[in-house]
Amino acid sequence: MPPVNPQILGKLEHSQNVLETPPSGHPTPAKLPSRNPTRSFWIDSSPDVNPLAGQGSQDPLPSEADICIIGAGFTGVGVAYHLIELLNNASLSIKHSLSIVILEARDFCSGATGRNGEHLTPAAFTRFAQRRASFDTVEAIKSYELEQHTTSLLVKIIEENGWASDVDLVEGGHISLLFTEKEAKNAHNDFDMARQAQLNLDGVEWLSKEELEKEYGVPYPGFRRPGYNVWPLKLVTKLYQHAQAHARQYASLSLHTRTPVTAVTHETTSTYTVVTNRGSISCSRIVHATNGYASHLLPFLTSPDGIIPARGQVMTTRASVGTDQIKISSWSGNKGFAYWFPRPVTRDTEKPLIIIGGGQEAAAPSRELYVDDDSETHPLVGKALREFLPSIFEGKYDPHSEPEMEWTGITGYTKTGDPFVRPSNSCNYCWLMYPSPGWCRSRLTRSESR
């Protein structure tokens, strides 16, 4: 089959308008996470993969805690992990051990972290011109450095603890394909601007159409940047287990899954009550790590100026040929709106399983923005994803084969694309999106400096 133009996706400028325009004109707060989410490869492909799935769901809730973290994804568990590391490493004179409780509406790590595309790839320089125009050069550089810092820190944690094979860490770099001359021109422009601004571009390599055709059988130019792939649920499980085992005398950590928080009320200047379907906890500090669902408990974050829920879709599909013909690398195309990764296999002739996600643009006009329900997939997004790989890798994917699994997940966007991390006025309350305390530090510094 001759390659067809895969330009079905990737219309960022149109997405921006939709992002700022709620479908009904009146956005409503997000609902609680759906009770019957679609089944994802990361969570549901084997019965043993989520040992913490129902952890603490039957245990009585404590009546009090120092810190309540709402949400057991990368962000919530990352906060607990770093807090405990901090307590262990700092010479603090703490009068009593800090009690940290994580509350999760569904199974452990069943939000976006358990349903994503598994790419651990910092942006490197992509969209530099846009970020510089939106902020300024210094802030644009900070945002790239933060992504690099987050990636390096996670990889360091994985390697120092000897978890690489447990969490399926693959270091293979990430190739972005450039389908049109305009895309190629913009990418070179971003790169040149970033280089002038002295951003670290180590490991970025331009690849000609001929090189990519020869090596991978795909007739488009592109560039490679440093990047990894990882099984997100397995990594977050390790982070939780490590944090709990290292809590020692300074802290205690517990997890209560299948415990949706339905309200947070402010009792005194220093006490909040976290209300759940199984009882209430009185807390002095609260971390909202609820991603696209944030506005359920914090209605003032109802979009478009707050946190906009958006549904992403991913599927697993089997290649028609072995890894002798499909080399392992992680990929994206159409400005990052389709991303895929052939999972490594043990034999050259074995046909790799491809995780492919993206394609929201096919769901016009909403583009899956303002959607907070991951119990369904979108048929048009599914169609776009099914057609994508057969259209660009001639003969390597069967256009008629059906995915082995297909699922959705909800993530939260802001209209500027900025992460959203803020304390409340009293500083007892933190809203977090994006999986790194590094983001938190940066955003606090940034907003405080204004």
Ligand X SMILES: Cc1cc2nc3c(=O)[nH]c(=O)nc-3n(C[C@H](O)[C@H](O)[C@H](O)COP(=O)(O)OP(=O)(O)OC[C@H]3O[C@@H](n4cnc5c(N)ncnc54)[C@H](O)[C@@H]3O)c2cc1C
Contact residues: ligand X, CB under 6 A: 32-33, 70-76, 103-106, 110-113, 115-119, 260-261, 289-291, 293, 296-297, 312, 314, 339, 357, 409, 411, 433-435
Closest CB to ligand X among 163 and 293?
293
Q: In angstroms, what is the minimal distance from the CB of 217 to ligand X?
A: 23
Tell me the residue nearest to ligand X as measured from the CB: 73
Closest CB to ligand X among 99 and 411?
411
Closest CB to ligand X among 103 and 146?
103
Tokens of 383: 């169609």
Q: Within 13 Å of residue 202, how many CA atoms lie on the same side as its CB?
A: 3
Q: In angstroms, what is the minimal distance from the CB of 403 to ligand X?
A: 14
Nearest partner of 33 among 381, 375, 358, judged by Cα: 375
> Which residues pair with residue 331 across a beta bridge?
175, 340
Q: In angstroms, what is the minimal distance from the CB of 2 to ligand X?
A: 30
How far, rounded to the nearest angstrom, does the alpha carbon of residue 137 sit from its chain's CA centroid? 25
Please report the sign of the dihedral spanned by the C-alpha atoms of residue 179, residue 183, residue 184, residue 190. Answer: negative
Tokens of 193: 């601007």
Q: How many helices (H) and strands (E) does the chain have?
A: 11, 19
> Which residues pair with residue 310 across a beta bridge?
369, 411
Q: In angstroms, what is the minimal distance from the CB of 124 to ligand X?
A: 13
Please report the sign of the dihedral spanned by the C-alpha atoms of residue 157, residue 161, residue 165, residue 171. Answer: positive
Judge whether 40 and 405 are in contact, CB under 8 Å.
yes
C-alpha to C-alpha distance for 203 and 224, rounded to whole angstroms: 8
Closest CB to ligand X among 106 and 238?
106
Q: In angstroms, what is the minimal distance from the CB of 381 to ligand X?
A: 10
Closest CB to ligand X among 147 and 184?
147
Closest CB to ligand X among 99 and 408?
408
Q: In angstroms, what is the minimal distance from the CB of 308 to ligand X?
A: 13
